[in-house]
Amino acid sequence: MISPAADRRAATAGGGGAGPPVSPPPAVVWRDDRLVIVDKPAGIAVHRGWAAGGDDDEPLLQQVRDLVRARVWLINRLDRGASGAVLFALDAEAAAAASALFAGGAVDKRYLAITRGHPPEHVVVDHPIPRAPGGERVPAVTELWRRDTFGRYALVEAHPRTGRLHQIRRHLKHLSCPLVGDVRYGKGEHNRLFRREHGLHRLALHAVHLGFVHPITGAPVAVDVPLAADLVHALASARAAAARDDVAGPP
């Protein structure tokens, strides 16, 4: 599990700002001869089909290809507005083997999220969701831990046991604790407050950990990706605001 201090690892990096920040380039956080894990910044689609901004946006797939100077295969997806760990393969054999790990539920995926509302301290959400918009509902399971609270908000660790589209976001909405920054499933007033008061202009969701047995070598792989600077800043700002409200007391 993620330690309670995991969200503070990038505290010296700064963050925030008056307007939407420019996405930094992706960074390689782990690599061997067959696989590579990168830290995806928020604001970048993982591949061309998810690049809603048009052809002028360079998807993560192309950026990683240029970064490692080799052809790469995308293994797992991450929403454009989210940040954190994304796995790529460096050859077709490794791509097939790594994809099978994800399909078989053999990858330990951990996320940190800021929610409006306080979910239970620990809960397993077993709630079917549509495989695609308007499609049939399929089984979906997410394990959640509440790691911190500050005012009306909470820091939550999520472990999706299945890999459905928008699964964490949908399950948080199901608990009536929507993800901050989520324009589809969240609350506009809280999204606007975090933009205005805490400098957060995207989904408050970060893929903080990937763990699996290497599909080619059999060696254990466990990679942690510190929170992005804008999330570190937003957390610190929201915590400070909650502390001020506690001191001031009710009006």
Rounded-to-integer distance, Cα 105 and Cα 168, Å: 16
Q: CB of 11 within 8 A of CB of 239?
A: no
**For residue 197, what is the domain's CATH number?**
3.30.2350.10
Q: In this predicted model, what pLDDT tens digit does every residue of 207-249 receive, in sequence order?
A: 999 999 999 999 999 999 999 999 999 999 999 999 998 766 6
Rounded-to-integer distance, Cα 60 and Cα 40, Å: 7
How many separate domains does the chain show?
Answer: 1
Rounded-to-integer distance, Cα 45 and Cα 57, Å: 8
Instruction: Name the residue range of residue 238's domain.
Output: 22-248
Residue 222 lies in a domain: yes
Residue 242 lies in a domain: yes
The reported pLDDT for the residue numbered 243 is 95
| Total residues belonging to the chain | 251
The CA distances from residue 160 to 19, 83, 144, in Å, are: 32, 16, 8
Residue 17 lies in a domain: no
Q: CB of 202 within 8 A of CB of 230?
A: yes
Residue 100 lies in a domain: yes
Q: CB of 181 within 8 A of CB of 189?
A: no
Report DSSP letters for 195-241, one per residue.
Answer: HHHH---S-SEEEEEEEEE-TTT--EEEEE-PPPHHHHHHHHHHHHH
The pair phi, psi for residue 152, each rounded to 5°, is -85, 5
Residue type, 52: A
User: Which residues are the active-site residues?
Assistant: 79
Residue 42 lies in a domain: yes
Residue 119 lies in a domain: yes
Q: In this predicted model, what pLDDT tens digit does every residue of 8-65 receive, in sequence order?
A: 333 333 333 445 667 789 999 999 999 999 999 999 999 876 555 444 468 999 999 9
- In percent, the amount of the chain with pLDDT more than 90 equals 80
pTM over 0.85: yes
Report DSSP letters for 97-147, one per residue.
Answer: HHHHHHHTT-SEEEEEEEEES---SEEEEE--EESSTTS-EE--EEEEEEE
Residue 70 lies in a domain: yes
Mean residue pLDDT across the chain: 89
| Pairing of β 35-40 and β 141-150 | unpaired
Residue 12 lies in a domain: no
Q: Which of 108, 130, 134 is nearest to 174 (CA)?
A: 130
What DSSP designation does 179 have? B
Instruction: Find the angle CA(242)-CA(166)-CA(4) to the nearest 5 degrees.
Output: 40
